[in-house]
């Protein structure tokens, strides 16, 4: 994880990212050219209707789906340029991308601390170090008091905060958040966005929030709209008070 430490602040840049499913006449172009640039510490929104290519973009950003063309730079390193430039996508995901999902998707059989500490542990860090880092993050996210609880014992907001902690634990240059506020009421949703903003700043991480949640859209400084596989950048309405 040495490179994780060396690359804060670089953010994520994609240029002309394309994705085509299938071949020949039945081929579908899900992405026709997406351009996104998020700096470290910045939180942007990614908004689009169903079928707009939002999910495909997210999967490509998350390095689980191979794009058909274009270029991605993550933390100052080109990871995709008409082909993967990284041999181990799994390690890339583990070390350099944080995921926050609509549902928290915590591992039900691990307690909160171990859910957060799992990635460093799997990466070969000492359990004690990993847990210490996890607890530090949990404290920072105000769920330190639930460190020994099981995910099923947490409220939705707490679960989402633990999920954010998990995404942050490897200090990734980018966090991909897929509808992180969908199951939450507006107060909690705003709280989560606040946390993401705070964490982005604190950990110098670029955060892309995929959402169509009306409650939180106004909070972004910049918003990428995606329609028919193309992105359009807009300035958002405001900035969070936090």
Please give the distance of CA 197 from its chain centroid, rounded to a whole number. Answer: 12
Decide: 60 and 76 in contact? Cβ < 8 Å: no
Cβ proximity to other proteins: between 73 and 170 the closer is 170
For residue 237, the minimal CB distance to other proteins (Å) is 27
Cβ proximity to other proteins: between 151 and 190 the closer is 151
Structure tokens at 164: 């954010």
For residue 108, the minimal CB distance to other proteins (Å) is 6
Beta bridge partner(s), residue 32: 18
Cβ proximity to other proteins: between 114 and 190 the closer is 114
Cβ proximity to other proteins: between 55 and 68 the closer is 55
All residues at 6 or more sequence positions from 216 whose CB lies less than 8 Å from its CB, including other chains: 45, 181, 189, 190, 193, 209
Binding residues for other proteins, per CB under 8 A?
55, 58-59, 62, 64-65, 90-95, 99, 101-102, 105, 107-111, 114, 117-119, 121-124, 127, 148-150, 166, 178
For residue 89, the minimal CB distance to other proteins (Å) is 8
Please give the distance of CA 127 from its chain centroid, rounded to a whole number. Answer: 24
Decide: 135 and 113 in contact? Cβ < 8 Å: yes
For residue 18, the minimal CB distance to other proteins (Å) is 17
Place of tokens 């950990």: 203
User: From CA 103, how far away is CA 163, in angstroms rounded?
Assistant: 9
Cβ proximity to other proteins: between 72 and 190 the closer is 72
For residue 125, the minimal CB distance to other proteins (Å) is 9
CA angle at 175 for the pair 95 and 137, rounded to the nearest 5°? 75
């Amino acid at each position: 994880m040495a490179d994780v430490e060396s690359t804060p602040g670089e953010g994520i840049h994609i240029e002309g990212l394309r994705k085509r499913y299938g071949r020949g006449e039945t081929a579908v172009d899900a992405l026709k050219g997406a351009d996104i640039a998020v700096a470290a510490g910045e939180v942007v929104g990614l908004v689009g209707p169903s079928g707009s290519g939002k999910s495909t973009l997210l999967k490509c950003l998350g390095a689980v789906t191979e794009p058909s063309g274009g270029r991605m730079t993550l933390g100052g390193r080109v990871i995709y340029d008409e082909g993967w430039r990284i041999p181990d996508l799994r390690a890339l995901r583990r070390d350099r991308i944080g995921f926050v999902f609509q549902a928290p998707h915590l591992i039900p059989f691990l307690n909160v601390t171990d859910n957060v500490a799992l990635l460093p542990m799997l990466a070969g860090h000492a359990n004690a170090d990993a847990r210490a880092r996890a607890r530090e993050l949990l404290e920072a996210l105000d769920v330190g008091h639930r460190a020994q609880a099981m995910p099923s014992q947490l409220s939705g907001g707490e679960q989402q905060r633990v999920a954010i902690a998990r995404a942050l634990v490897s200090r990734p240059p980018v966090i991909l958040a897929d509808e992180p506020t969908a199951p939450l009421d507006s107060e909690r949703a705003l709280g989560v966005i606040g946390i993401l903003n705070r964490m982005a700043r604190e950990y110098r991480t670029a955060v892309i929030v995929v959402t169509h949640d009306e409650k939180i859209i106004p909070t972004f400084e910049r918003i990428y709209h995606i329609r028919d596989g193309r992105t359009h950048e807009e300035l958002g309405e405001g900035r969070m008070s936090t």
